Structure 1
Amino acid sequence: MAGKSGAPWWAHMMLYAGGLTMVVAGGAAAVTQIGINTANNAVQPEDILGDAQADMDVENISGPLNILVLGVDKQGGSTRSDTMIMVHINEDLTQASMVSLPRDLYVEIPDCGPDWGNNTCMQKLNHAASISDDWDVTRANVVDTIYNLTGVEFHMGATVDFNGFMDLVDLVGEIELCPWHEITSIHGDKKTFPEGCNYYGKEDALDLIRQRYPWDEPEDYENDLWGDYGRQAMQQQAIKALIKELKADGYHKDPAKLSDVLEGLEGKLTMDMPDGLATIDLAMNLRDLDPEDITSIRVPATSQDTEVGSSEVIAEGEQQAAADALWEALQNDTMEEWIAQNPEWVKQTGNAATETEPSDGASEGTD
């Protein structure tokens, strides 16, 4: 069996990957000045969903739309995914929800690799992406696993490689990050980052958002921001801060600047879209989405011991009912109702220090 790779430092940053599309969408008119082909070619096509792709009217784009986003980690000759996000856009294309599937979620996997005779087994979700060095094999296994778990049909798929994605910080110079208490880096020269909001260049920003172990103060546990949850919160801040700076600097209106953003996306983002749907058309139709209003949702689950170690488990009873209702809401475009009924699994997405999410246990991936 191929060895598993740990979750890369950027793993949960992709929660806001869709937000950068809003920058491009806002500059749709400018895109036409630098050439539609430039915009369309910046996002490379990839067959992610296979035959399971849901039907979509590309001539009259409307919601609801479900998009599966996979964070990929390219190491050596293999590609793995430790991050899986389900993006839901409502019927009138004005609201978006993002559901993060925990990498340690205890699920049934259709193909568990050679050590299991390529048979079904119960394992952590990220195991689905570790059965082979062949990305075509692992990608299909991940998609099948998620569909079997949720029953959600996806209209589009995307892969995001964040190794280098934060190079876009160089375009704006600095981004604002707001640690809720002082922390000292465990990397390099052990730099100390003060409490509160400050502007950081790419190198310091990358160091700060990689931190996991320093989020170990009593207040972190009180606010459900300990360990990997703290790292996720900082990484989410970084993406939102980057989007804000790009918009503030006019990248969504200036053709030359927008060209830089598009070039920065090359090799870092691929999409599986229905035949006849171009990137620029999708961006135009999503122009009313505001990244500030993206709702972040955690799958109802708790940390429990399983036969494969500590895992995130959807427990029977209220959690199972909430999870089943979540999958149905994604499929039937009733997310607004689900969010109102399940506020404990909804997380605000601002840069506030009080930003929290439920803490029934967290999976601790490696950098």
Structure 2
Amino acid sequence: MGDGISSRIRGRGTRRGKPGGRRRATVIAAWSAAALVLVGGSGAGYVYFKLNGNLKGVDINAQLGGDRPADSGDGSQNILVLGSDSRSGANAEYGTDGGGARSDTAMVVHIYKGHKKASVVSVPRDTLVDRPACTGSDGTAEAGRRLAMFNTAYEVGGPACAVKTVEQMSGLRMDHYIEVDFTGFKKLIDTLGGVKITTTQAIDDPKSHLTLAPGTHTLDGEQSLGLVRTRHSVGDGSDLGRIQLQQSFIKALIEQVKSVGVFSNPKKLYDLADTATRAITPDSQLDTVNKLVGFAGGLKDLGARDVHMVTLPVRYDPQDPNRVLPLPAATRQVWTALKQDKPIPASATRDSAGDKGSAHGVVSAG
């Protein structure tokens, strides 16, 4: 089946202030749903070419060249998953602003050797990092910048700059890149038939347009999008609290994908594959159905219990409580563990602001 799981991106050689007018969304389904629903779904003839035609890849290799971390060579994989907050096209209903698209959500997904377990590191969008020099989408050079917000890497240089920034931060080579937009996320959840979750407290957030009573709910696409955007009525109202909701939701999503029974329903499988391939922008090593199917085959055994999710260890910036700064020693622990294909130690996140929020436990799989 194409290049399969071995295909990689290769180079050559809150406290929280007012959120402003931005209505941000998070797309966290890409690596689980977009991959898992494609297993066994390539088909032939019209179906094959239809799904292939939905995919538009990004050639990270050509843009970054050879000045990158080395491949691990141990069978593990690192995938950068981004959710873009572009307001163009159908996404315009989620608000407008004067800036370009930014990476609303970033997750570094590490698939351990053997592909039976994974760790996911959420990188807060407001993390202040040293952004490397990049080439902009119009071909112009973008100078590097110290203490830039992480999500501006995507804004100034698109997917390649986001990958370059993560690789510089972590010392890990990103083997793949997957991006999903707002509208694609909603459609994917609706096509899946919704995601069942349980809330332990009421959620009423006018900013994300979501109102839920305590109890069990099957969320449609619009409600799911609202949930992963919610922060004002849960915990301390920070973006770090919202990340905790996102992490809980993705586990519920993984369970839903594995239990929906699409493989015995060809139409359901095709509809999901069609929606997923429209929703994502992958790297050029995953931009055909065969490549995606091979990639998905390496993830199909992962369940929610096999996925360990953490937030990059951070503290609030004393100069600006709307920004966070990485905790140097703790972040080194995280990246070193993944580089060595080992579990992330609990000590790495013990003192992190991202691990202390009160949004943990508010949402669980239904």
What TM-score does the superposition give when structure 2 sets the normalisation length?
0.72
| Cα offset, 1:66, TM superposition | 1.1
C-alpha distance 247-330 of structure 1, shift in aligned 2 (>3 A): closer
Distance change >3 Å, CA 310–CA 18, structure 1 → 2: same
Stretch moving more, 319-328 or 98-107:
319-328
| Equivalent of 2:160 in 136, 140, 146 | 140
CA contact (8 A) 1:73 1:81 kept: yes
Q: One-letter code of the match for 2:118?
A: A
Tell me what 1:177 maps to.
197
Q: Does 1:69 align with 2:75?
A: no
1:303-314 paired onto structure 2 within 5 Å: 303-306=316-319, 310-314=322-326
> Partner of 2:271 in structure 1?
260
- The structure-2 alpha-carbon separation of the partners of 1:22 and 1:109, relative to structure 1 and needing over 3 Å to count, comes to closer
Please tell me whether the aligned partners of residues 72 and 79 of structure 1 are also in contact (alpha carbons under 8 angstroms): yes
| Preserved contact between residue 262 and residue 268 of structure 2 (Cα < 8 Å) | yes
Give the match for residue 360 of structure 1. Answer: none
Task: Please name the residue that 2:311 is paired with.
Answer: 298
Q: How far off is 1:280 after superposition?
A: 1.4
Q: Determine if the alignment matches structure 1 residue 195 to structure 2 residue 214.
A: yes
SS in 1 for 2:218: strand
1:285 to 298, 311, 317: 298
Write the letter of the residue equivalent to 2:310: I
Aligned residue for 1:107, secondary structure, equals strand
Counting only pairs closer than 5 Å after superposition, residues 185-334 of structure 1 correspond to structure 2 as 185-186=205-206, 192-215=211-234, 220-221=235-236, 226-274=237-285, 278-306=291-319, 310-314=322-326, 319-334=327-342
Q: CA deviation at 1:342?
A: 3.5
> What do you get for the CA RMSD once the two structures are aligned?
3.9
2:110 maps to 1:99: no
Residue in 1 that maps onto 2:348: 342
Give the distance between the partners of 2:336 and 2:284, measured in 1 at CA: 23
Equivalent in 125, 131, 146 of residue 121 of structure 1: 146
Other-structure match for 1:84: 106
State whether residues 108 and 123 of structure 1, in contact with CA within 8 Å, keep that contact through their aligned partners in structure 2.
Answer: yes
Q: 2:101 touches 2:155 (CA, 8 Å); kept in 1?
A: no
Unaligned 5+ segments in structure 1 are 132-136, 357-367
Cα deviation for residue 259 of structure 1 reads: 0.5
C-alpha distance in structure 2 between counterparts of 1:313 and 1:178, whole Å? 32
Point out where structure 2 has 5 or more consecutive residues left out of the alignment.
1-19, 90-99
- 1:19 has 2:32 as partner: yes
SS of 1:262's partner is helix
Using the alignment, how far apart are the partners of 1:343 and 1:120 within structure 2? 27
Q: Are 2:231 and 2:239, in contact at CA under 8 Å, matched by a contact in 1?
A: yes
3-state SS of paired residue (1:45): coil
Contact 2:35–2:293 (CA<8 Å) still a contact in 1? no
How far apart, in 1, do the equivalents of 2:225 and 2:285 lie? 35
Q: Distance in 1 between matches of 2:142 and 2:283?
A: 30
Amino acid at match of 1:271: P
What is the rounded CA distance, in whole Å, between the counterparts of 1:259 and 1:197 in structure 2? 29
CA distance in 2, matches of 1:178, 1:55: 42
Q: How far is 1:160 from its partner?
A: 1.8
Deviation, 1:89, is 0.8
CA distance in 1, matches of 2:224, 2:174: 33
Contact 1:177 1:198 (8 Å CA) reproduced: yes
Query: How far 1:38 moved relative to its partner?
Result: 5.6
TM-superposed CA distance for 1:244, in Å, is 3.6
Aligned-partner Cα distance in 2 for 1:274–1:169:
25
Contact 1:10 1:162 in 2 (8 A): yes
How far is 1:109 from its partner? 1.6
How many angstroms does 1:233 deviate by? 3.8
Paired residue secondary structure (1:152): coil
Aligned to 1:164, the other structure's residue is in SS state helix
8 Å Cα contact 2:37-2:257 kept in structure 1: no
Deviation at 1:101, TM superposition (A): 1.4
1:155 — aligned with what?
175
TM, length-normalised to structure 1: 0.72
Q: 1:126: how far off?
A: 1.7
Displacement of 1:355 in angstroms is 6.8
Q: Which letter maps to 1:184?
A: D
How many aligned residue pairs are there?
Answer: 321
Question: 1:233 and 1:260, CA in 2 relative to 1: closer, same or farther beyond 3 A?
Answer: same
CA 1:55–1:31 in structure 2 vs 1: closer, same or farther (change >3 Å)?
A: farther
SS in 2 for 1:289: coil
Code of the aligned partner of 2:331: A
